[in-house]
Structure 1
Amino acid sequence: MVRGYRRLRGAVVSIAVAGTLAAGSLVTGAGPAVARPAPGEASQYLVFYAQGRQADALSAIRSGGGVVEAVDAKLGYALVHGPGTAFAERLGASSSIVGVTDNRRVGSAAALPAQGPVSVPAVATPAAEVSAPAQGAFPAAASSSQAAAAATRGDPLSARQWNMKMIGATPGGSYAKDRGSKRVLVGVIDTGVDGRHPDIAPNFDRRLSRNFVVDRPKDSKGKTLDGPCEYKNCKDPADVDDDGHGTHVASTIGSPLNGIGVAGVAPGVSLVNIRAGTDSGFFFLKPVLDALTYAGDAGIDVVNMSFFVDPWTFNCARNKADSRAEQLQQAGIITGVQRALDYARGHGVTLISALGNGSTDLGHPTTDKDSPGYPAGSERDRTIDNSCLNVPAESRGVISVSAVGPSKRKAWYSDYGTEQTDLAAPGGDPTDAGTSLKGTAREILAAAPTRALRKQKLIDGSGKPTGSSVVRDCHQGKCSYYQYLSGTSMASPHAAGVAAILISRFGKPGRGGLALSPARVQELLYATADRVGCPSSGSITYSVSEQKHLCAGPTSKNGFYGHGLVNAYRAATAKH
């Protein structure tokens, strides 16, 4: 996931190969640093009111000295200015109020940060990476002959996509049966999507894409946060991704089979950027609510959520270790996101989420050392239990996905749980030695924005990759870039792509495209997944983390794999 998901709590943070955290990779629960206001200082809040109690709530807000700026009747909350923490606590005493959350940046995407001394051998550089591109050049469009060759042999970098082979997304597999329809809209709620990348552009729907965040160059202490404002009002266009996480996710879902780079699970679908994550990889509550509501209103069929909403890795509405204001903040996150998810699902959106990169049994959590991840430095050890929720992975109506490595072993970083794991998918794992693959080749390769790679110093001034985590594919003197990443953020887009194939096949005309109820998509996803049982020993002990993870449940539904490993070929050939 991305920083919202363990800084990636929402979005799964990918593991950068060679022990370096990929720039912009998001980790659940972490958000940008913002100082808390002084007791008498006015702050902005999202105040969630009980069903049918809007008038009472607005009265309580005004009586407490708050100023109502706006009301969102769809999700049942008011945007309010009020005099500091004491104001929030007073509101919590009203029976009409169910949550009061600071309107700050509170979320991130999830890519897995490197932990421990993981040795990553170098990968040989293929001939396609030899020629250097001109500064800022984009690859030429694929020729008809390139596209025709790709249909039978795959794209130039397909040989590196063990993940697609694992789920049957190959020229001899699902690509020959159903690649997904342009009428199916897959929303990527993430850090943005590079809509100009040659392996994204053919399937990118710029008209429907939106950006719900504004860049913040610096935090309240003057430290660099999102970097300089490149566009008017610090708001990036809807085809920009300065982080790279969202582009990687979108590429895995639907990069076209076009003779360039890689191909996605569903290379024929439409990709819609619904940006809720910042350049620095944080996901805050308000943009997440806006993104989910928009998905419902815009007729999006599937959304991928590789993030969690900061600042709490686990949201506990009644934890005695937290202050009353903190309890209200967490209750607001749980309530607000659930309402937004219900709204989107009620409007036909299938909800797919990364499970998280905390290496935790979510059914039996005991401690949370990462919260609150915002403001920076606020983290403390908390004793928690299963009443505390990882949002949105543990929210109702969401299909949550764990990650596996190339041998199908549950990835060491992946969260798990018999209640929480719905499906499994390839997410990459540099420590999985169960195949002949080495180092970075054990991760997931997908498209990456040139500008983000240059900013992260993953390519040099001439355009040459500086390490094995980046691959360059060149045609006619122009090149595009691809990056190896690991995380549950990388796993969930595989499930989103398979869901898109199912909607393409079984959806009926509606909402301007094809429509299939989320409940039916879920049934078909589970029915077409490959059942994978728990390890024969019942557990796995990971040398990289020195942790023992216990797998519980039968082959039909267990804590590591849920209902099974997603299978694109079975989805493309299944009977209704």
Structure 2
Amino acid sequence: MRRVGALVAVLLLAAPAGAQAGEGDIIVIREPGTSARDIREDAGVRVVKPLPIEGAELVKPRGGDVADAVAELRADDDVVLAERDVRVTVDGLDAPSDPFFLSLWGLPDATVPAAWTTTTGAGVSVGVVDTGVRADHLDLAGQLTGNPGERGAGREANGLDDDGNGFVDDYQGWDFVAGDNTPQDGNGHGTHVTGTIAALADNGRGVTGVAPGAKVVPLRALDNSGNGYMSTIASALDYAGAIGLPVVNASLGGGYANVLERVVAAHPDTLYVVAAGNANRNNDDPAVASYPCALPQANILCVAAHDRSGARASFSNYGATTVDLSAPGVDIASTWNTTANAYATTQGTSMASPHVAGAAALVLAARPGITAAQLKWALTSSATVTPALAGTTVTGGRLDTAAAVAAVAGTLPVEPAPTSTPTPEPTPEAPVAPVAPQPPVATPEVPAPAATPEPTPAPPAAPRLVDVNVGGSLKGAKGKLRVSFKLTRSATVRFAVHAKGKAKPVASWTKRAHRGGNQYTLTRKLPTGATLKRGAYTLSVSLSATAKSSTAIRVR
């Protein structure tokens, strides 16, 4: 199974309360109007639990052979998607050992205090998909919220699903690990991230969040060890988009999963701010990329980490086309979960991402109603170009919150230029010993360095075709083949079908495909108009004579 992210839309809470994702589970999404029971019987699998994504559920092979079960499911014409549910985790890093390090250097570095003269984020709610939150933390008092459809007029605890979204009394977020409405934090990572976004200001204790006027909706998708399954994460991301949260922070990451991409694509009005990952890897390389950071969807904003000097943190992933900008991620102090008054200092791209999510809340509060695309444009177009970051992100710069807030005061772009494609990876870090809280110290605003001209970009690398898969069958008049593949950048892809042993193709055509995951459905009637007769064929997908993948297919 795959531990990672969240998905789309609403539905089903009829599974046993204790049902949880586990090793050997499979995520299945079926065609609308088809029978889940028939699909399970044909593939020899049993249901583990329904997922809060339309037409989706988690299943397990009755005989234990996961590979065979996935193959059977993919061969079923009624199945849109079948993939292992993989584990996702937080990237733990040793935190600095100085127990007195409480300087919130990230705030002036990202020009947050200057933005506070305009807004502190009031009226904006940010989703946090993580390990949960310590709800009674004194520095988070009154800062947590939940589904507005379950709040007010006694709806919080009436035992009803008042807004019909499939979740009962989700007025304070949701725990997708335990399946209840109490997303408490047994790890600390989620509480740390939440404090960076929205810890109280001027309350005489601890730290101050980037957007102290904003609220946080806690969505627990990672367990107490900082791990989680892709089905759980996708469900949380989908839930956040379905209840209309404009910004969601996901400081986590893992390998590619189709279900994760589908969920993000299903909620274009939600900006998913995600961590780049802590493996010091190039997310532009699909073989090692972290997701959701490297997803091609425009509503992903991926964040790298830099240190006090403005240099990329030694652990931070990077990517000139997949990582959007950098934010403070070394020696970051914030709230912790061990007591209601605990704090800790730690590091990672998990700490950088919530700086940007908090900044997004400030921008939204300054200009309510802007789109996710305009919000992303404001955050990326205003980044402070930094020579030490050249070539490591799309912008080559770091977060400038005050400039982002100022950007939306003027004319907004109708069609903002696309920015990087992030790849989330669970990036929570191991905390240092909790540090004693102390009142926040006013830090002088640090002037942003003068903008430096961006270096002339190197010619883009040739696109690469990877992970070509063909599923389904052309059995009968309604048979379908599903062809999926990934590209390192947008390109024109050529399809060709040859009868067995024939050099001349029966049909060939081209499609423009985007960077990241692509999927096409083929029937016996090909896009050229030719209809395949019964027999053996070879289907090839190629960029060139050398970048080519061929698969034997049979029409029955």
Q: TM-score, normalised by structure 2?
A: 0.60
TM superposition shift of 1:245: 0.3
- Contact 2:200–2:209 (CA under 8 A) maintained in structure 1: yes
* Distance across 2 between alignment mates of 1:33 and 1:335: 17
- Contact 1:212–1:274 (CA under 8 A) maintained in structure 2: yes
TM superposition shift of 1:423: 1.3
TM superposition shift of 1:45: 2.9
* Distance across 2 between alignment mates of 1:300 and 1:33: 25
> Equivalent of 2:383, from 513, 518, 529?
529
- Contact 1:424–1:561 (CA under 8 A) maintained in structure 2: no
Q: Cα deviation per residue 1:296-316 (whole Å; 9 max; x = unaligned)? A: 2222121000012xxxx434x
* Distance across 1 between alignment mates of 2:186 and 2:52: 33
CA RMSD of aligned residues (A): 3.1
- Contact 2:145–2:173 (CA under 8 A) maintained in structure 1: no
SS at match of 1:289: helix
CA 1:76–1:494: 2 relative to 1, 3 Å: same
> Equivalent of 2:343, from 482, 485, 494?
482
Aligned to 1:322: none
- Contact 2:383–2:395 (CA under 8 A) maintained in structure 1: no
TM superposition shift of 1:210: 2.5
Aligned to 1:425: 327
CA 1:338–1:122: 2 relative to 1, 3 Å: closer
* Distance across 1 between alignment mates of 2:97 and 2:227: 31
Aligned to 2:15: none
Aligned to 1:199: 139
- What aligned pairs does 1:112-123 form with structure 2 within 5 A after superposition? 112-113=93-94, 122=98
- What aligned pairs does 1:149-548 form with structure 2 within 5 A after superposition? 160-170=103-113, 173-181=114-122, 183-205=123-145, 208-214=171-177, 238=182, 240-258=184-202, 259-308=204-253, 313-315=254-256, 334-343=257-266, 345-346=267-268, 348-364=269-285, 386=286, 389-395=289-295, 396=297, 397-428=299-330, 443-451=331-339, 480-508=341-369, 516-534=370-388
Find the structure with the greater CA-based Rg.
2
TM superposition shift of 1:482: 1.4
Amino acid at match of 1:246: G
| 2:1 is equivalent to residue 78 of structure 1 | no
Aligned to 2:398: 565
Q: Which runs of 5+ in 2 are unaligned?
A: 7-19, 152-170, 411-556
- Contact 1:75–1:340 (CA under 8 A) maintained in structure 2: no
Q: Which has the higher helix share?
A: 1
TM superposition shift of 1:523: 1.0
TM superposition shift of 1:445: 0.5
- Contact 1:400–1:423 (CA under 8 A) maintained in structure 2: yes
TM superposition shift of 1:80: 3.2
TM superposition shift of 1:394: 1.2
Aligned to 1:89: 71
CA 1:74–1:501: 2 relative to 1, 3 Å: same
Q: Cα deviation per residue 1:225-265 (whole Å; 9 max; x = unaligned)? A: xxxxxxxxxx7763521111001101111112123211111
TM superposition shift of 1:389: 4.7
TM superposition shift of 1:279: 1.1
* Distance across 1 between alignment mates of 2:120 and 2:345: 23
TM superposition shift of 1:200: 1.0
TM superposition shift of 1:533: 3.2
CA 1:203–1:387: 2 relative to 1, 3 Å: same
CA 1:123–1:485: 2 relative to 1, 3 Å: closer
TM superposition shift of 1:169: 1.6
CA 1:392–1:268: 2 relative to 1, 3 Å: same
Amino acid at match of 2:274: S
| 2:41 is equivalent to residue 100 of structure 1 | no
Q: Which runs of 5+ in 1 are unaligned?
A: 12-31, 37-43, 115-119, 126-156, 216-234, 316-333, 365-385, 429-442, 452-478, 509-515, 536-550, 553-558
TM superposition shift of 1:103: 5.1
* Distance across 2 between alignment mates of 1:242 and 1:185: 23
Identical pairs, percent: 28
Aligned to 2:495: none
CA 1:560–1:64: 2 relative to 1, 3 Å: closer
* Distance across 2 between alignment mates of 1:497 and 1:73: 27
SS at match of 2:274: strand
Q: Cα deviation per residue 1:262-295 (whole Å; 9 max; x = unaligned)? A: 1111110011101111111112122212212221
* Distance across 1 between alignment mates of 2:227 and 2:93: 14
* Distance across 1 between alignment mates of 2:306 and 2:283: 17
- Contact 2:316–2:349 (CA under 8 A) maintained in structure 1: yes
TM superposition shift of 1:63: 1.9
* Distance across 1 between alignment mates of 2:386 and 2:36: 49
Aligned to 2:429: none
Q: Which has the higher strand share?
A: 2
- Contact 2:196–2:355 (CA under 8 A) maintained in structure 1: yes
TM superposition shift of 1:573: 3.2
* Distance across 2 between alignment mates of 1:98 and 1:299: 26
- Contact 1:427–1:488 (CA under 8 A) maintained in structure 2: yes
Amino acid at match of 1:448: W
* Distance across 1 between alignment mates of 2:378 and 2:405: 11
CA 1:197–1:482: 2 relative to 1, 3 Å: same
Amino acid at match of 2:194: A
Higher RCO (Cα < 8 Å, 6 or more apart): 1
SS at match of 1:186: strand
- Contact 2:5–2:232 (CA under 8 A) maintained in structure 1: no
Q: TM-score, normalised by structure 1?
A: 0.58
